[in-house]
Amino acid sequence: MNADSLDGRLLFAIPKKGRLHEKCLSILSGADIQFRRHHRLDVCLVLNHNIALVFLPASDIPSFVGKGNVDLGITGHDVILEAEMQNHVTEALRLGFGKCALQVQVPEASSIKTVEDLAGKRVVTSFEVLSAEYFGKLDEKFNLSGDQKTRIEYVGGSVEAACALGLADGIVDLVESGDTMRAAGLHAIATLLESEAVLIKSTVPKHPELAPLIDLVTSRIAGVIAAGKYVVCQYNIPRDKLPAATRVTPGRRAPTISPLEDEKWVGVSSMVEKNKIAVIMDELVKIGAEDILIFNLDNCRV
């Protein structure tokens, strides 16, 4: 595939591997972005839209979107800050998956109990920029200069092994479940930031003619994310108890309220967060709702 075949197409960067890759493929499928990626090729054309998918390391995507010709991308919020691309890209959507925390970690048996104890010592990380900024402020606070400053060293992988192998007194690394951290005998003593996957676009549009397609893709992905987060709750409620019920189920914008043949009752349909549905149903029963039904969403537009 040559550069000419990409001319006029929206370029959409997807993480080629790692913790975000599989979920991104699921989102593309839900958004009806159809493609066939040939083995070992990192660029493929979408079959039903004027889009080319570009599979890149997640850490490179902010730079390609912010300074290159790529129009859209999915990466981590933490990666944008580490690449110092926050002024060059706009977070169009927070996607609600890939959630993690960038944390300072030290051995559980260590005498280091706070980040202040770690100031002036050795820190290993693959997040040099964010770590240097964080510990730079600590060094200033304690007037550390020259050889006294906290030493930040970069490693590309196996960061959690750095303390046990004598390379560091503490590390800065991403924590998802915390299983790897605990297995390495580490515990967190501070959090630099919370992160999740985000859909990004260039702050300065490169191809204004592609704006409608960018908006379409963004809308479809927002619908896929909402369908995974929400369910439809439908129930009947006495009209005089409607205000109390709609406080429990306010919907994303507002609930849909329909009259019934019995004038003393109304039907209500509302989107509610999936992880809260059991509690919401209990509350509706207490208020007096009946015939409470829950419908899962395959897709939607929000």
- Give the range of the structural domain holding residue 56, as residue numbers without chain letter: 3-98+197-206
Domain identity same for 39 and 113: no
**Helical (H) or strand (E) element with 72:** strand 72-76
- Give the pair of three-digit tokens for residue 181: 């951290």
- CA 114-76-124 angle, 5° bins: 35
Q: What is the CATH number of the domain that holds 243?
A: 3.30.70.120
244 domain residue, yes or no: yes
Q: What is the CATH number of the domain that holds 177?
A: 3.40.190.10
215 domain residue, yes or no: no
20 domain residue, yes or no: yes
End-to-end CA distance of the chain: 36
User: Tens of pLDDT along the chain (302 residues)?
Assistant: 555 567 789 999 999 988 899 999 999 999 999 998 887 789 999 999 999 999 999 999 999 999 999 999 999 999 999 999 999 999 999 999 999 999 999 999 999 999 999 999 999 999 999 999 999 999 999 998 888 999 999 998 889 999 999 999 999 999 998 898 999 999 999 999 999 999 999 999 889 999 999 999 999 999 999 999 999 999 999 999 999 999 999 998 899 999 999 999 999 999 999 999 999 999 999 999 999 999 999 888 88
Total tally of structural domains belonging to the chain: 3
264 domain residue, yes or no: yes
301 domain residue, yes or no: no
Domain identity same for 201 and 93: yes
239 domain residue, yes or no: yes
pLDDT of residue 3: 55
Please state, in angstroms and rounded to a whole number, the distance separating the CA atoms of residues 58 and 273: 29
